[in-house]
Amino acid sequence: MSKKNDWVRYLLFSGIILFVGLLLISYAVRAQSYASSEPYRELDERIKLFFDEIIANSTSTDAFDSILTTGSVGGLTDTSISEMKTKLDDVKTRFGGFKDYEKIDAKPIGKDLVIIRYLLKCESYPVVWTFTFYRRPSSSSLAQWQTIGLRFDTNLDILILK
Number of neighbouring beta carbons within 10 Å of residue 131: 23
Residue type, 78: D
pLDDT digits (tens, 9 = 90+) for 76-117: 677 777 888 888 888 989 999 999 999 999 999 998 899 999
pLDDT band at 64 (very low <50, low <70, confident <90, very high): confident
76 CB-contact burial (10 Å; exposed 0-12 / middle 13-18 / buried 19+): buried
pLDDT digits (tens, 9 = 90+) for 1-59: 577 778 878 878 888 888 887 777 877 766 554 444 467 898 999 999 999 998 988 66
Distance between CA atoms of 162 and 78, rounded to whole angstroms? 28
Residues with Cβ within 8 Å of residue 89, at least 6 apart in sequence = 58, 59
Distance between CA atoms of 131 and 75, rounded to whole angstroms? 12
| H/E stretch holding 125 | none
Domain ranges of the chain: 1-38, 40-161
Which top CATH class is 40-161? alpha beta
Residues with Cβ within 8 Å of residue 73, at least 6 apart in sequence = 134, 146, 148
pTM greater than the 0.85 cutoff: no
